[in-house]
Chains A and B, each alone.
Chain A
Amino acid sequence: EIVLTQSPGILSLSPGERATLSCRASQSISYNYLAWYQQKPGQGPRLLIYDASSRATDIPDRFSGSGSGTDFTLTISRLEPEDFAVYHCQQYGRTPITFGQGTRLETK
């Protein structure tokens, strides 16, 4: 199965700053089938990005995804207070579908 490694594990930033989150795959992901999710305490994850760079419905344009092959990035251009959460990547290029272990974005 494809193993996804997210870095950093914890990212400490201030509102207004730019956040760059990384997701690296153990094998190339077919068709760049990679998604990103945001999760807040007590809630299910919310889809942000699919197909590596397509924003999901109602997701603000400060969220963007990029990358291909084995290296993918989620960028939040200017952090808003509500963006501090855990972020997960997920590959669906090959079954079984797998997730990264998450990056916690916390307020500095």
Chain B
Amino acid sequence: QLQLQESGPGLVKPSETLSLTCTVSGASIRSGSVYWGWIRQTPGKGLEWIATMYYTGTTYINPSLQSRVTMSLDTSKNQFSLNVNSVTAADTAVYYCVRPRGVTTWYFDSWGRGALVTVSS
């Protein structure tokens, strides 16, 4: 059974880079035709899709975050990661790693438990 687990600092200073890692168990992140992704949730804006990455490395990013977000894969550790640079208080959220299903657009059939990241000095 697929399991996803987020990890990373819970506190990030404004203007710095938020970095999170998702550890995948129960599947290989390099399996054919597999996508991986990130979604965040805030009380004010609700759920927000951040980005989706194909196992080849091709990445699709929400245009509202395009200039600040990168994703990467670490096949040796079966992990994938998210970086959000130049963070502000508006980036404070619970961040979920997810498995997207679909081809050019996706729903999400597996979610981690979420990691709370607070942006504050």
Contacts and interface: CB of A to CB of B under 8 A. Distances in A.
Interface of A: 33, 35, 37, 42-47, 50, 56-57, 88, 90, 92-102
Interface of B: 46-49, 60, 62-64, 96, 98, 101-102, 105-114
- What DSSP secondary structure best describes chain A's contact surface? loop
B102 A45 contact: no
Q: Which of A44, A45, A56 has the most CB of B within 10 A?
A: A44
Contacts, number: 58
B15 to A, nearest CB: 25
A56 B34 CA distance: 18
Contacts of B112: 44
The 9 lowest CB-CB distance pairs between A and B, nearest first, are: A44-B111, A99-B47, A35-B107, A97-B49, A92-B105, A50-B107, A47-B109, A96-B62, A101-B46
- What DSSP secondary structure best describes chain B's contact surface? strand
B105 A45 contact: no
A44 B49 CA distance: 14
Q: Which of B60, B98, B108, B113 has the most CB of A within 10 A?
A: B108
